[in-house]
Chain A
Amino acid sequence: MVVSLGPLEIPGRLVYDFLHIFILPGFGAVLVLVILIIWAERKIAGLVQLRYGPLHVSRRFGGVLQLVADLIRYTFQEFIIPQGADKIAYLTGPVLALIFAIIPVAFIPVSPLIEPPIYVSSNILVVLAILSTAPIFIIITGYASDNKFAFIGSLREAFLMISYEIPFIISILSMALLFRSLDMSDVVNSQAKYLSGIILNPLAALVAYIAIIRITGRFPFEISEAESELVMGPYTEYSGLMYGVAMGIAYIKLYVYSMLYSMVFLGGWLPILSNNLVESYFIGSFIILIKASILMLIAVFLRSVYPRYRVDQAIRLGWSQVLILSIISLIWSLVLSYFLR
């Protein structure tokens, strides 16, 4: 889907890349959406639990700036590196995890007319590959902290990530198989032609969503950070700004996974299509953003309903029911793709 921009090709490209990376759906949108989602999470939980939630910071807007205040506090709080910690690993672990959580945004197209900043024809595969590096950094973090709870937490996280990533990858690839393409643009265009992915293969959609909830550590799978067992899991020893970073990773991951999910299952920038370059960029990214935030809202709402599973129960669930369902969804895609051709 290469669009010729004529003589304006290079500057237009640069402006667009800048917008994509820094504004929409890149850093700017991530920051605003994470703040809004955390606020919504606390507000919804407050509604369910018969209390107010955030209220006093920016009272007129229902305390929406509470997280900004928290971030400011994290920034100026003393940042302690424990004596026994492996300093380099301790500092780089969460930062690398954050970077690798947000890189996939550069691969995700937001409009049928414009390529993403980094164009790879099999971008679904690349995004999955980048996202699956996360356990490495978690293990680095847990090891570097020199804390038993952090170590146990990081091992739990690694175990659980692996046992839910495989069903997730299978269910996403079953959609790629269904639409016969590893390019998100093609996948979305195919959905425009037939039906959205969630209707064509609801099983894969279900498996992928369960896996997203687990991979991003939402309830009932908030197991690696279980407060009553492991204090704060891999991030037990982090304080100040690094704690804020560590807390943000889960939400950024949730955002990226939700974007991928809305591309593959919910038809990306559909249903509104525009032939104007600028319009299609803004409308497309807004629609993706709205779809992603609905997915995120459902994920954070589960906190008010479920407690957390035990680690062995969650791993068993991942390797039995969820994996089997994902394989069934793969077979269903095979059968369906024969008819769709």
Chain B
Amino acid sequence: MEVSGSQDITQELAREIFRVVETGVKEEGERLIELQIGPTHPGSGHMRILAWVDGDVIVRCDPDIGFVHRTIEKLSENRAYIKTIPLVERPSLLDTTPMTIGYVNALEKLMGIDVPPRAKYLRTILAEITRIASHLYGIGILAIFLGHSTGFMWAFGDREVMIELATMLTGARITYAYVIPGGVRRDMPQNFPDAVEKGLKYIEKRLRDWEKIFLNNPVVERRLRDVGILKPNIARILGVTGPNVRASGIDYDVRMVEPYEAYDEIDFMIPVAEEGDGYARGLIRFKEIEQSINIIRQAIRKIPSGEIISPQISRLFNPLMKKIYAEQRRVKLPSLMATLKPPKGEAMARVEAGRGEALFHIVSDGSTNPYRFRFITPSFRNVILFKYLIPGHRIADLPAIYGSLDYFPPEADR
């Protein structure tokens, strides 16, 4: 049953995918021009998109990835567990905290460390702050790919507010490495809740401006509506994740399906759209920003007092570390962490990063380095859409679809 079912699905998928190609040019003869878009093209990002065009219509498209491959999985096999935390946040520079949460969760599962509730809430707050920043970045790229320079500048300007909030909490602008096994690096400052409320109010005000200039802009609508429609069954087969799949009517979010950190104690909803076109994908990101604002507000209100680091870690503190922790609420990692040896075994964790589900799988052989670390990023799972969404559209739709997918090459290449 399984085999025949999957064959049916495959055939259906093939029919769907090559629907356009069949009606277009059958032979790849002299009619087709091969366009190599990238890697040094203003609209390509760190990748090459091979597109075969017939006149103005793309009949075949092939994403060529790997230009910014940084061997993160291999590097992590040669360094201590604790040093991989800053490594996993490098691929997606705008969306760092969910990545560290995923890795640290896997590590905590491996070692059996419990996290105090206050640390969980702090992690959730920071993850949602970076989600807003990441979505704003994606919207900005979508805007500039459509030629909307105001959207681009506004998105990057508004993202700065979120980065300032994160700086207040962590002390760094982009790469926080805030999440450590057993807790977080430091507690939130006294004036943080007020600053967050101010920042969120500003973002809410700006979202209304965004609606006026971007979402309700007639040219934006004409460029994105009915462009790059991703049908739910195809999304399911291709394993697409994140806002892209939620824009196709599939209600899937790791924060709901398998709650981690404080998400099970917070009341929020997952925005879903039915259309599956570029406009829906853009719209979903705006709706998710609204939900993230809601989550941050609730988390700030509900955050319990208490420790920010697990007693399993804090009992290793030396007197100076204890003093710093008591006075400044900052965690200095005990030296034992540098030669951390988790027990033999495997652990897996997944998180909902800004662009979709990220999966972390650690295989430990009992030594100081992981035997194998598997790291699947959402962009890596979404890149396949280039091959299936773009054929049949015009050259001008390529950047529109690219932008609406919020694909980030360094994240996919790792």
Contacts and interface: CB of A to CB of B under 8 A. Distances in A.
Interface of A: 45, 48-51, 148-149, 152, 219-220, 222-223, 226-231, 303-313
A227 B43 contact: yes
Given A220-B219, A310-B397, A311-B396, A304 B33 contact: no
Contacts of A223: 396
B147 A312 contact: no
Interface of B: 33, 35, 41-43, 56, 143-151, 153-154, 157, 213, 217, 219-220, 222-223, 394-399
B43 A228 contact: yes
B352 to A, nearest CB: 29
A306 B218 CA distance: 8
B44 to A, nearest CB: 9
A308 B42 contact: no
Contact of A227 (B42, B213, B219): B42
B42 A307 contact: no
Nearest to B145: A228
A305 B150 CA distance: 7
A305 B153 CA distance: 12
A180 to B, nearest CB: 38
A46 to B, nearest CB: 9
B42 A309 contact: no
A230 to B, nearest CB: 8
A152 B147 CA distance: 18
Contacts of A152: 56, 395
B219 A306 contact: yes
B219 A309 contact: yes
Contacts of B157: 49-51
Interface of B is mostly: helix
- Residue of A45, A48, A49, A304 ringed by the most chain B CB atoms within 10 A: A49
A226 B148 CA distance: 11
Given A50-B157, A231-B42, A148 B150 contact: no
B153 A50 contact: yes
A50 B217 CA distance: 19
Given A152-B56, A228-B146, A229-B399, 13 more contacts: A49-B157, A222-B147, A227-B42, A227-B43, A227-B147, A228-B43, A228-B144, A307-B148, A307-B217, A307-B223, A308-B223, A309-B223, A313-B223
Contact of A229 (B43, B149, B220): B43
- Residue of A226, A229, A306 ringed by the most chain B CB atoms within 10 A: A229
B147 A49 contact: no
A137 B151 CA distance: 34
B147 A311 contact: no
Nearest to A152: B395
Contacts of A220: 147, 219
Contacts of B394: 310-312
A227 B397 CA distance: 13
Contact of B147 (A48, A148, A219): A219
A149 to B, nearest CB: 8
Given A50-B157, A306-B217, A307-B217, A229 B396 contact: yes
Contact of B149 (A49, A149, A311): A49
B150 A311 contact: no
Nearest to B56: A311
Given A227-B42, A306-B217, A307-B220, A45 B149 contact: yes
A50 B149 CA distance: 12
A318 B219 CA distance: 15
The 4 closest A-B pairs by CB, nearest first: A228-B43, A49-B153, A307-B148, A307-B146
24 contacts: A49-B150, A49-B154, A50-B153, A50-B157, A51-B153, A51-B157, A148-B33, A148-B35, A152-B56, A222-B147, A228-B42, A228-B43, A230-B395, A303-B149, A306-B147, A307-B147, A307-B148, A307-B219, A307-B220, A308-B223, A310-B397, A311-B56, A311-B394, A311-B396
